[in-house]
Amino acid sequence: MGLNLGSAAGGSLSAHLHQHVVPRWGGDANFMPVIANTKPLIQTLGANRDDIAAAWPRS
């Protein structure tokens, strides 16, 4: 179950709470593949930044 609260949740009403109930199964990572057809990046923000900086073309 996921809970979204207020305007940051992207709803049309800023003062509301809505819930998502998502099925789970053995060995899954989380709800992202079910809802958004994507997978989470299991990496710290700093490590992600370092990877992007290393791959960015130098001018």
Domain of 24, in residue numbers: 2-55
Q: Which of 18, 20, 39, 49 is catalytic?
A: 18
Q: What is the pTM of this model?
A: 0.36
Q: How many CA atoms lie within 13 A of 8 on its CB side?
A: 3
Number of domains making up the chain: 1
The answer to whether residue 20 is catalytic is no
Question: Among positive and negative, which fits the CA dihedral 30, 22, 36, 33?
Answer: positive
pLDDT tens sequence across 39-59 = 777 788 899 899 999 999 887
Q: Residue 9 and residue 3: Cα distance in Å, rounded?
A: 9
pLDDT tens sequence across 17-35 = 777 776 667 776 666 777 7
Q: Residue 21 and residue 2: Cα distance in Å, rounded?
A: 7
Residue 4, strand partner residues: 18
